[in-house]
Amino acid sequence: MTRLNPDALAAESVDTPSPGLSHLNERGEAHMVDVGAKTATLRAARAQAVVHLQPATLQAILAGRLPKGDVLATARIAGIMAAKKTSDLIPLCHPLALEKVSIDFTPQGADRLYIEALVQLTGKTGVEMEAMTAASVAALTLYDMVKAIDRGLVIASIQLLEKTGGKSGHYLKNKEN
Query: Residue 94 falls within a domain, yes or no?
Result: yes
- Looking at residue 11, its pLDDT comes to 38
Number of domains in the chain: 1
State the CB neighbour count (10 A cutoff) for residue 36.
6
CA-nearest of 26, 31, 163 to 91 is 31
Q: What is the mean pLDDT of residues 85-110?
A: 95
CA distance 94 to 82: 14
34 among known catalytic residues: no
Q: Give the active site residue among 15, 70, 144, 150.
A: 144
Distance linking the first and last C-alpha atoms of the chain: 19
Query: Residue 110 falls within a domain, yes or no?
Result: yes
Which SS3 state, helix, strand or coil, does residue 79 take?
helix
Displacement of CA 43 from its chain's centroid (Å): 13
Give the count of alpha carbons within 13 A of 108, CB side only.
Answer: 13
pLDDT for 132-164, tens place per residue? 999 999 999 999 999 999 999 999 999 999 999
Query: Residue 135 falls within a domain, yes or no?
Result: yes
Residues sharing a CB contact under 8 Å with residue 114, sequence separation 6 or more, in sequence order: 48, 50, 51, 105, 106, 107, 108
Query: Residue 60 falls within a domain, yes or no?
Result: yes
State the CB neighbour count (10 A cutoff) for residue 154.
13
CATH (domain of 90):
3.30.70.640
Residue 122 phi/psi, 5-degree rounding, is -110, 110
Query: Residue 31 falls within a domain, yes or no?
Result: no
**Could you give the residue ranges of the DSSP H alpha helices within 25-127?**
55-63, 71-84, 86-89
Query: Residue 6 falls within a domain, yes or no?
Result: no
Query: Residue 82 falls within a domain, yes or no?
Result: yes
- Looking at residue 26, its pLDDT comes to 72
Contacts from 21-24 at CB under 8 Å and sequence distance 24+? 23/92
Q: Tell me the pLDDT band of 166, cut-offs 50, 70 and 90.
A: confident
pLDDT for 10-56, tens place per residue? 333 333 334 455 666 677 777 667 676 778 889 999 999 999 999 99
Query: Residue 70 falls within a domain, yes or no?
Result: yes
Q: Which domain holds residue 162?
A: 39-172
Instruction: Give the bridge partners for 122, in sequence order.
Output: 42
